[in-house]
Amino acid sequence: MTTEQAETVQQVENVEATKTDNNHELIHEHTLYAEPIGHIGGLAITNSLLMSWLALIIIFVLAVKVGAKIKLIPGKIQSAAEMIIEGLMSVFDGVTGSRAKTVKFAPFIFTFFFFILFNNWLGLLPGVGSIGQVIEAHGEKIFVPYLRGGTADYNTTLALAIIGIVASHIFGVIAIGAWKHFNKFINIQAILDIPRKIKKDWTVIMVNPIKFFIGIIELISEFAKIASLSLRLFGNVFAGEVLLASISAMLAFVVPIPFMFLEIFVGLVQAFIFSVLILVYISLNTTAEEH
């Protein structure tokens, strides 16, 4: 083989190597699903699940430490915290209509609020979504972050919505009884009342069937509530993370800071809205139909 032929062969090999490298470009994108980063037995541990566990640990540690430092005569920090809690309780009173109901449901609602809030804010920390590992799948190199905001995963927000709606029905059954609560959605009682009331009021022939079909619509709306709650929270948090990543990629310094403060505020608002809506649903389900 001559020198020129050898150089030609080398050039061809370099071109092929370049093509191979281009075909294995590193892919780093925000996915709608959480990526698994490990397994415990048959359970896949995703990056969003890991972040949710971290949020629970932080909340637990803070609750223990704050609970141990509560005093009868509050200091400045405790006074400020009590003012915030009292303000939220007043807002809840406007939903429930009484402080007794607020006190009964507040622990459950505050659990939602703080869990969502910490997950929203932890997703904004440096390194979340940018520190991870590179894996090969289907002939491509894909970057998988170790941590991802818990509420930026639709599985998390859907689970929260389902828990909230199911709990509202459990509270409803406890408050007004299983039969009355059941008839809010499948109003068999309205049909059974027609023969008994028709002599006194003939309009029950028209009104009660309408009540029955309204109950069916209410049943469908319960599934709509789950979709609405989960998609609203997921959409806002996920869109915020994509926005910050896009701004940081274009202008890494100074410019993303205002958007960061905006996302901190959005995280707070979304946690508040989700919690209040759950309280609204609980209040509606714990109120008898005639009231």
Residue 66 φ then ψ, to 5°: -70, -40
pLDDT score, position 11 = 42
**DSSP state string for 100-140:** HHHHHHHHHHHHHHHHHHHHHHHTTSTTTTTSEEEEEETTE
List C-alpha distances in Å: 214 to 151, 152, 180, 219. Answer: 34, 35, 15, 9
The HSE-up count of residue 135 (CA atoms within 13 Å, CB side) is: 11
Percent of the chain beyond pLDDT 70?
A: 81
Residue 215 has pLDDT above 70, yes or no: yes
User: In 3D, which of 269, 273, 248, 268 has the Cα closest to residue 259?
Assistant: 248
Residue 279 has pLDDT above 60, yes or no: yes
Q: Letter for the amino acid at 288?
A: A
Task: Please write the tens of the pLDDT for every residue from 126-179.
Answer: 777 667 777 766 667 777 777 888 888 888 999 999 999 999 999 999 988 888
Residue 215 φ then ψ, to 5°: -60, -40
CA distance 173 to 280: 16
Environment class of 274 (CB within 10 Å of its CB; exposed 0-12, middle 13-18, buried 19+): buried
**Report field, pTM of the whole predicted structure over 0.85:** no
- Across the range 80-104, mean pLDDT stands at 88
- Does residue 95 contact residue 283 with C-beta atoms inside 8 Å? yes
Residues written for the chain: 291
pLDDT score, position 253 = 60
- What are the sequence ranges of the domains in the chain? 26-285
